[in-house]
A and B are shown apart, each in its own frame.
Chain A
Amino acid sequence: MNGNKDDTSSKIGMWLFILSEIILFGGLFILYAVYRFKNPSAFHLAAEELNRPFGTINTLILITSSLTMALSISCVQKGNRRSSLVFLLATLLLGFVFLANKYFEWAGKIHHEIYPDSPRLLERNKGEILFYGLYYSMTGLHGLHVLVGLGVLLFMGILITKRKIDETNFAPLENSGLYWHLVDIIWIFLFPLFYLIP
């Protein structure tokens, strides 16, 4: 038996990796929980300044991209290479738009001189400093995961074009899809924590 060809193995491996990713972010969620508990009003004040529509749009974008990702996998499984590539491209595009939005959001905040260690931020309440410390760390790490995901999906696109991924061999695409959903789900937790909770 060659371990490389065992799809169940590679899926188990991927789930274990996802588990470790969840725990990586888990550390940040614990920090968020403790600091929010210690500074409820400062967190509330700081969160008011984040742009809710921006966050909502980004949430919709990522959820849609998860849908197109799933459709892309489904198309490959049915041997529909062309539409699989179209859906994959759509996923890539949506991921890219998400990052662009994030860039403008960050740029806006940085323009108002709110970024880690900025003199303007340091003048404020310690709870607000922490809020923005967590905001930049958590959305930054998440953004990095989106970026890595885009790279992986791009690579999958190349494999589909080269017919290395088709209806007989689609485990790598499925695993990339799992990763993409993970990135999506993490955002679904980040969004209310930073934008919605009063």
Chain B
Amino acid sequence: MPSEISGEVRPEASFFKSKGRFHGIPGWIFSTDHKRIGILYLISILLFFFTGVSLGFLMRLELIAPGPTIMKPQTYNALFTLHGVIMIFLFVIPGIPSIFGNFFMPIQIGARDVAFPRINLLSWWIYIVGAALVILSLFTGGGPVDTGWTFYVPYSLRTTVNVPLAVFGVFILGFSSILTGINFVTTIHRLRSPGMNWFRLPLFVWSLYATAWVQILVTPVVGITLLLTLLERLVGVGIFDPAKGGDPILYQHLFWIYSHPAVYIMILPAMGVISEIIPVFARRTIFGYKAIAFSSLAIASVGSLVWGHHMFVSGQSDLASLIFSLLTFLVAVPSAIKVFNWVATLYKGSIEVKPPLLFGLTFIFLFSIGGLTGLFQGALATDVHLHDTYWVVGHFHYIIFGGTGFALFGALHYWFPKMFGKMVQNTIPYLSWGFLFVGFNILYFPMLILGWEGMPRRYYDYLAQFHTLQLTSTIGSWILIAGLILMFGNLFYSLLKGERAGENPWGSATLEWQIPSPPPKENFEKIPVVKKGPYEYERE
């Protein structure tokens, strides 16, 4: 396009309508427009989310009563593995960065696209290939994997199910994550518009920046771990096989060197979303901008050094456990800094509880429960009791679903008008939020109690004394799913029938709200010159 050279582009139709080299579906799946790629991710990631939810629903249904209910034990093992693999590798890890990061980060920094648009498209394709391999592993070889999403050796070396293909699929997904990380770091360094200095970046961008570094630095570790597991299965190199001198504990180390920081890949972008939503609906500049920005970096760096807390009972040395426990307590500090700053931002604000803020506040509440329950496991003595129980399942879901999940719902409601140019119908979200919030707590709070009482995770059957709580939890899952159906139904309805959204329905100060909804193909007619911070409402 010749006009690109001059830095000015004619006003164009929205990116939905603009014409590229291809039309129809190829115009989407071969598009290098970061917004279209964001929408591609939105569709594919939500599909896997619904799949994961269905699997979770079936597991809860099986657990409604003691003894066999609707499936065989082996099916149950496959279900919890698949639920974990799909939710973690195909939903939460790519989740917010790939959907909203792709769509909004370039606009928020005043750029026309990411630094490497073609690699951006490639990372979506790699994601699809990896996902396809994981799905294919269900129907080929020895059938669905039953190892749990952690693929722990030596069991994953001995089981007859199709571990190699599933592991290879996850290995491929890692590439997608690394490429997105490289793209984001480079983009944020190179493509900020004039005047957009580091401390004028929206905090969502800061959180993506920290996340992207984690993606680049730790994903290769799980890559090599899975590659070696694959080699072990195919040719028996023996590196993780105790029968040949290998050490399964080393597998756990390498696995968690990635998979613990991966939790921060999941939660940091969610925190970024909350930092965007809260000032807008409190009509106040964010409190402690730099503290929030740097706490993202602190979480990313300290969070990469706590992996050993997954192995307190695995047989690592006591000294290692002590150090990991200390670091685990330390990493709670930057998270708390964020929470306090969000709350301080709300103080004396003129708060308008629109749906995005409602989800944002819920994030703070549920994430706090998740964070505090995490400290119990970080303490060495308590962890011996809590390890591998429902407590862990409850804690994890409070962080990842209550945190990242609700932040993603908040982001959907917040940015929906910008992405699609339509307003979300405004009363149903409150109702669906009610179902989601109530259902969520009925579903997961009993798990904390169950774990405290000693119910181990991943069990197909349980003692009669756990029945009431298990039943309660299953009923919670129904309420939660009703909320999901209501919420996504409403979003879909709004997509078709919603009122037209203006440029800036929420009165936000960040750049993405200063351009038409939905954005034109090149985002900005003229690259903007930034003269103020992202949350300066008063001075307007």
Name A's B-contacting residues (CB within 8 A): 1-4, 6, 8-10, 12-13, 16-17, 19-21, 23-28, 30-31, 34-35, 38-39, 115-117, 122, 126-127, 129-130, 133-134, 136-137, 141
Residues of B with C-beta under 8 A to A13? 115-116, 119, 182-183, 186
Rounded to whole angstroms, the CA-CA distance of A19 and B217 in the bound complex is: 7
B231 touches A137 (CB 8 A): yes
Tell me, rounded to whole Å, the shortest Cβ–Cβ distance linking B182 to chain A: 4
Does B112 sit at the interface, judged by CB under 8 A?
yes
A1-B7, A8-B190 given; A23·B115 CB < 8 A: no
Name the residue on A nearest B249 (C-beta).
Answer: A34
Residues of A with C-beta under 8 A to B114? 3
Name B's A-contacting residues (CB within 8 A): 4, 7, 111-119, 178, 181-183, 185-187, 189-191, 216-221, 223-225, 227-228, 231, 235-239, 244-247, 250, 254, 257, 527
B220 touches A129 (CB 8 A): no
B245 touches A39 (CB 8 A): yes
Name the residue on A nearest B181 (C-beta).
Answer: A16
Told that A2-B112, A4-B118, A34-B247 touch, could you supply 5 new A-B pairs with CB distance under 8 A?
A: A20-B216, A23-B221, A116-B235, A117-B237, A134-B239
Residues of B with C-beta under 8 A to A28? 224, 228
A20 touches B219 (CB 8 A): yes
B246 touches A9 (CB 8 A): no
A1-B527, A9-B115, A9-B116 given; A137·B220 CB < 8 A: no
A27 touches B244 (CB 8 A): no
Residues of B with C-beta under 8 A to A26? 220-221
Rounded to whole angstroms, the CA-CA distance of A16 and B209 in the bound complex is: 13
Residues of B with C-beta under 8 A to A2? 4, 112
A24 touches which of B118, B220, B245 (Cβ 8 Å) = B220
Rounded to whole angstroms, the CA-CA distance of A39 and B224 in the bound complex is: 22
B221 touches which of A4, A17, A21, A27 (Cβ 8 Å) = A27
A16 touches B182 (CB 8 A): yes
Residues of B with C-beta under 8 A to A141? 227
A3-B187, A30-B254 given; A133·B217 CB < 8 A: no
Name the residue on B nearest A14 (C-beta).
Answer: B182
Rounded to whole angstroms, the CA-CA distance of A16 and B186 in the bound complex is: 9
A3 touches B246 (CB 8 A): no
Rounded to whole angstroms, the CA-CA distance of A21 and B527 in the bound complex is: 35
Tell me, rounded to whole Å, the shortest Cβ–Cβ distance linking A147 to chain B: 16
A133 touches B112 (CB 8 A): no
A31 touches B115 (CB 8 A): no
A28-B224, A133-B237 given; A12·B189 CB < 8 A: yes
B191 touches A1 (CB 8 A): yes
A130 touches B228 (CB 8 A): no
Residues of A with C-beta under 8 A to B116? 3-4, 9-10, 13
